[in-house]
Amino acid sequence: MNFEISDEQKAFADLAAQILSEAASHEKLRKLEASDKPRFDPVLWKELSRSGLLGISIPEEFGGADQSFFELSLLVEQIGRFTAPVPVIETLVLAALPILRFGSPAQRTQWLTRIVDGELIATAAIIEDQADPLRPMTRVEVSGDGYILNGEKVCVPAGAIAELFLVPASFPDGRIGVFALSRDQTGLDIESVATTSGQPEAHMRLESVNVPESAQLGSGDNGAQILDCIRSHGTAAYCSLAVGVCAEALRLTAEYSKQRKQFGQPIATFQAVGQRQADAYVDTEAIRLTAWQAAWQLGSGLNAEEAVAVAKYWAALAGQRVVHTAAHLHGGMGVDRDYPLHRYFLYAKQLELSLGGSQQQLRTLGRMLAEGTA
């Protein structure tokens, strides 16, 4: 079995790495993080647009490159490697992908071209306090020729900077609808929240938000399918992000352990240090292979529920082992905010819990085994 990516796929990843290595350098990230602005670099966002990377998985008719979800996952991996301050997952995975698959021709034309051009930041607001993301407590009712939404969303990714939000809500009869709301929608209150990783998340309140019928994504009967698409692809994308985060944390640790000396010897020569780094390498490769498997299955249109759960389990559990090893072997440098490792530790912690931690993935796999679907 060939686990290598093609030359064309590698070219996308290399292009992203080339742009990010300069635009998302440690020095530039320090300067951004020292400001009171959201963790977002609009110049880098435009550069990704000019390079064509924002349209990597969007059809040519909207200005994109028409690649699969797997190629998009390779871009996301590079975002994780550089902890780049750009909402690639939020805009390209959580929003653009469901718009492309389920949106009307008018909706696709209205939003996808602007996303490719770097003119629109979009996201999905699917998380609610104490609620299953696939069973939203936010309510929607028919009102004349439109709808009225009431509810509350938490931890909205890129919510502090997004202009378009996909918001799922439940009808009284139990059906689910997904609605596209603009930031300036009357009755929509968006409040930025502080996060340990610096991600520009937000808290959203919907109070009698009146939207037209054209705001609904899909046919009206496939809302649950749209929501599952957002969850599955979003989870797989977070796993790809974890690949980059863990790989770079491991690289930093390997370089540091070759330079840091104790008793006149580089600590990399100590057996215990070598063993811990070897374990972290194995964990990183497990995260990579399971993330690639999930992304490939999704990109090929296959049922990937099992693959996504396995990938997320490894990203959550093994990802923590990798960054904890990195922090321990760095000693005091591991928590120094003037050194880049702290970003990878914080990213990994947030990724561990985003869209379900390791225990939730085990429960998902257990259910699938019990039902005979795994």
Per the CB < 8 A criterion, the answer to whether 169 and 179 are in contact is: yes
Query: How confident is the prediction for the chain on average, in pLDDT?
Result: 94
| CATH 2.40.110.10 holds for 124-220 | yes
> Is 132 or 78 the better-scoring residue by pLDDT?
78
Per the CB < 8 A criterion, the answer to whether 149 and 142 are in contact is: no
pLDDT tens digits along 106-128:
999 999 999 999 999 999 999 99
Domain assignments of the chain as residue spans, ordered by start: 7-120, 124-220, 224-371
pLDDT tens digits along 3-25:
688 999 999 999 999 999 999 99
Lowest mean pLDDT among 136-140, 202-206, 350-354: 350-354
What percent of the chain clears pLDDT 90, i.e. is strictly above it? Answer: 84
Give the per-residue pLDDT at 261. Answer: 85
Q: What is the 3-state secondary structure (H, E, C) of 146-185?
A: EEEEEEEEEEECCCCCCCEEEEEEECCCCCEEEEEEECCC
Under 8 Å CB-to-CB from 166, ≥6 apart: which residues? 94, 95, 98, 99, 122, 123, 124, 125, 178, 179, 180, 217, 230
Which band of pLDDT confidence, cut at 50, 70 and 90, is reported for residue 162?
Answer: very high
Which band of pLDDT confidence, cut at 50, 70 and 90, is reported for residue 244?
Answer: very high
Lowest mean pLDDT among 97-101, 170-174, 355-359: 355-359
Per the CB < 8 A criterion, the answer to whether 326 and 341 are in contact is: yes
Name the CATH code of domain 224-371 (choices 2.60.120.380, 2.60.40.1260, 1.20.140.10, 2.40.30.40). 1.20.140.10
Closest among 286, 294, 175 to 232, alpha carbons compared: 294
Q: What is the average per-residue pLDDT within 332-354?
A: 92
Q: What is the average per-residue pLDDT within 314-341?
A: 94
How far apart are alpha carbons 245 and 348 in whole angstroms?
7
Give the per-residue pLDDT at 220. Answer: 77
Give the per-residue pLDDT at 2. Answer: 64
CA separation (Å) from 292 to 71, 308, 352, 369? 10, 10, 18, 22
Under 8 Å CB-to-CB from 182, ≥6 apart: which residues? 163, 164, 165
pLDDT tens digits along 40-69:
999 999 999 999 999 999 999 999 999 999
Per the CB < 8 A criterion, the answer to whether 333 and 342 are in contact is: no
Q: What is the average per-residue pLDDT within 266-281?
A: 94
Which band of pLDDT confidence, cut at 50, 70 and 90, is reported for residue 150?
Answer: very high
H or E segment and range at residue 50:
helix 42-50
How far apart are alpha carbons 275 and 319 in whole angstroms?
17
Per the CB < 8 A criterion, the answer to whether 96 and 112 are in contact is: yes
> Is 372 or 330 the better-scoring residue by pLDDT?
330
pLDDT above 90 for 1: no
Please provide the CATH number assigned to the domain covering 7-120: 1.10.540.10
Which DSSP string corresponds to 6-37? Answer: PHHHHHHHHHHHHHHHHHT-HHHHHHHHHSSS
Which band of pLDDT confidence, cut at 50, 70 and 90, is reported for residue 353?
Answer: confident
